[in-house]
Amino acid sequence: MPAGRPHTYKPEYSKDLVEYFKEGFKADDDPIPFFRKWCINKEIPKSTAYDWANKDHTSHVVEFSDAFETAKDLQFCWLVRGGLNGEFNSGFAKLIAINLLDMVDKSEVNQRVTDLTARDPDLSMLTDEEVRIRAQIEKKVMDGQKDKA
Tens digits of pLDDT across the chain (149 residues): 444 455 588 999 999 999 999 988 888 788 888 899 999 999 999 999 999 999 999 888 899 999 999 999 998 888 888 888 888 888 877 887 787 777 777 777 777 666 555 555 566 777 888 888 888 888 888 887 666 65
- Domain ranges, ordered by start, for the chain: 12-100, 116-148
Distance set, CA 77 to CA 51, 70, 105 (Å): 24, 11, 18
Q: How many Å is the Cα radius of gyration of the chain?
A: 28
Q: How much is the pLDDT for 1?
A: 40
Distance set, CA 135 to CA 40, 117, 118, 120 (Å): 66, 9, 13, 13
Q: How much is the pLDDT for 88?
A: 81
Q: How much is the pLDDT for 4?
A: 47
Nearest to 101 by CA among 109, 112, 89, 93: 93
Q: How much is the pLDDT for 50?
A: 93
Q: How much is the pLDDT for 139?
A: 85
DSSP string covering 65-109: HHHHHHHHHHHHHHHHHHHHTT-S-HHHHHHHHHHHS--------
Q: How much is the pLDDT for 2?
A: 46
Predicted TM-score (pTM) of this structure: 0.61
Q: Which residues contact 148 (CB under 8 A, 6 or more apart)?
A: none
The amino acid at 71: A
Whether 18 contacts 71, CB under 8 Å: yes
